[in-house]
A and B are shown apart, each in its own frame.
Chain A
């Protein structure tokens, strides 16, 4: 690459050493008390978790009738939120696995909390199908096990595929995250000054000592996990899109769904990573780890995946027109000009028009506009699922069975409650675990120290 790249290295600021990296990141967990913003944020999210508990408790007592779902629109907020959350999770896996395989070293300072974000987003996502089931106490009927009823799950149904996809995704994400944490847990064990910290982190570190043979197997396992997680993440959202695409409903029955869902997942996930990392790096003064180059790179990925999403919309419209199918055509006109037109046009504004600002370097270079664009995209991607679920269902084949969908208070409270759960888990995570991978930062700093002395060109990543 060019010389300018050598100077503005994307991964770290100069003057970091192996020692200072270990100190700065572990101090956030071990010695510094949480900043005031942490307490405020945790309090708000904790209250929202309480709201979630109330909403779920009321749901268990009364049943899904407390939600706005009705006969034509059986999939309301629950499925909208499920797809939204699981999509957000995908950026974490993308950053940690796919960027690792492509040797994009700038991922190092954001992969840890992106993975944590994945984990918590998948936890929120997983709640919704369970709550939507009506009889959540029988969720385990999804699992193939020899039961006294003599029945087995129906493996020809996309819903059971979804169960396996999301279950695998949650398990693999957890393992990937935990394996990445082991060496850092050892660092915390060794640097902790309290007996309690040493015992807890020591227990979790499982006796990691950093032996050369261990590192070799560790790296091999980590790389293999990344190689496994990459097709997995693509398969998960593909299967989520099958929930729609395998049906025969106009607006759902489209072959473009899998790729466009995957791109949408990456789009919303990167938007969420930016939404989280911009305030985090400001509060914890981590600008020397999460640099402006990181924000710039993420904005570019967002722009690219946003264009793929726009292409998906375009193809949906084109095929509805070109296919000449009356119901498809009606569905699309109803989306654009029917009673839910507001959601459609808001979606186009949020997901296609406003993100075009990212073409300008001056926008990508400023955290504040970037933060707002990321929030707009989060809203836009939620609206996308709302449009897909609600407008396709509310007016289907028979005008006599048409209806309208109104979310109730409990729909909103459950949704806000999961946002609180997500935020509360993230706040606990940044308080208790290193939010940046310490050992990978050490490795990166060490490589730069080594190559920096030798020659200027070797400094590029």
Chain B
């Protein structure tokens, strides 16, 4: 088997509805494809599962953020009030922990939320201004009302002819060559 001379980043197929896309994703996964990705204008239930992508690390990331905020928030208040700048206010104890609860809580939420947003963007590889799929004009409908599946050329299973036929057989409405990024 010989690869084509033109550099290609794989094949992009459009499907008519979410059910066809889910079926195609499930079938490709069963056939051993791993390097493929589905694109939909809204989150589709069961699609990530069809690709066997079941668990994300998001909850763990957010937990780390929350714990960091908790420890740093309380530590900051303890260190400033007890060690660095002790002030006697009406004879109250320096380590008056109930007063430290609100700020600790707020900082826990703040860092957890920051980790959630930055973690989501980081794991998703965003921001990413350039992407091979953006070269295909029809792909702009992926953010409105069209459903796409991209089989990447890195996939060991990928072969232009057979993959194209497999996609056609799975009722892809149209198939495009994805130009590789210059």
Contacts and interface: CB of A to CB of B under 8 A. Distances in A.
Interface string A128-165: 00000000000000001000001111111010110011
Contacts of A183: 41-42, 143
A220 B145 CA distance: 23
Nearest to B128: A207
B87 A154 contact: yes
A153 B80 contact: yes
A177 to B, nearest CB: 11
A155 B100 contact: yes
B41 A187 contact: yes
Interface in A409-461: 439-440, 442-443, 446, 450
Interface in B124-182: 124, 126-131, 133, 140-145
Counting chain B CB atoms within 10 Å of each CB, the highest count among A17, A23, A153, A229 belongs to A153
Contacts of B120: 179, 217-218, 220-221
Given A155-B81, A190-B140, A218 B43 contact: yes
Contacts of B10: none
A172 B143 contact: no
B103 A161 contact: yes
Contacts of B116: 175, 221, 224-225, 228
Contacts of B77: 155
Interface residues of A, number: 65
B114 interface: yes
B51 interface: yes
Contacts of B143: 22, 183, 186-187, 189-191, 208-210
Interface in A205-233: 206-221, 224-225, 228-229, 231-232
B28 interface: no
A19 B58 contact: no
B117 A225 contact: yes
B43 A202 contact: no
Contact of B131 (A152, A209, A439): A209
Nearest to A19: B145
A155 to B, nearest CB: 4
Given A164-B103, A212-B37, A213-B53, A175 B85 contact: no
A160 B87 CA distance: 16
Interface residues of B, number: 60
B31 to A, nearest CB: 18
Contacts of B107: 164, 168
Contact of B44 (A17, A176, A212): A212
B146 to A, nearest CB: 9
B70 to A, nearest CB: 13
A156 B96 contact: yes
A239 interface: yes
Contacts of B42: 18, 183, 210, 215, 439-440, 442-443, 446
B80 A175 contact: no
A225 B140 CA distance: 28
Nearest to A223: B58
A221 B41 contact: no
A228 B113 contact: yes
A189 B38 CA distance: 20
Nearest to B45: A447
Given A22-B145, A161-B102, A190-B140, A156 B89 contact: yes
B47 A212 contact: yes
Interface string B67-94: 0000000001100110011010100100
B40 interface: yes
A242 B99 CA distance: 11
B145 to A, nearest CB: 4
B80 A219 contact: no
Interface string B26-67: 000000000001111111100110010100101100100000
B56 A216 contact: yes
Contact of B59 (A18, A153, A158, A224): A224
A172 B103 contact: no
A202 B103 contact: no
A291 interface: no
Contact of A152 (B81, B123, B141): B81
Nearest to B96: A156
Contacts of A215: 40, 42-44, 47-48
Contacts of A179: 117, 120
Nearest to B53: A213
Contacts of B51: 212-213
Nearest to B144: A22
B110 A171 contact: yes
A450 B45 CA distance: 12
B158 to A, nearest CB: 18
Interface of A: 17-19, 22-23, 144, 150-156, 158, 160-161, 164-165, 167-168, 171-172, 175-176, 178-179, 183, 186-187, 189-191, 202-203, 206-221, 224-225, 228-229, 231-232, 235, 239, 242, 439-440, 442-443, 446, 450
Identify the 3 closest CB pairs spanning chains A and B, nearest first.
A206-B127, A221-B120, A207-B128
15 contacts: A18-B42, A150-B85, A164-B102, A168-B106, A171-B114, A189-B143, A203-B129, A211-B37, A216-B48, A218-B124, A221-B120, A224-B116, A235-B105, A242-B102, A442-B41
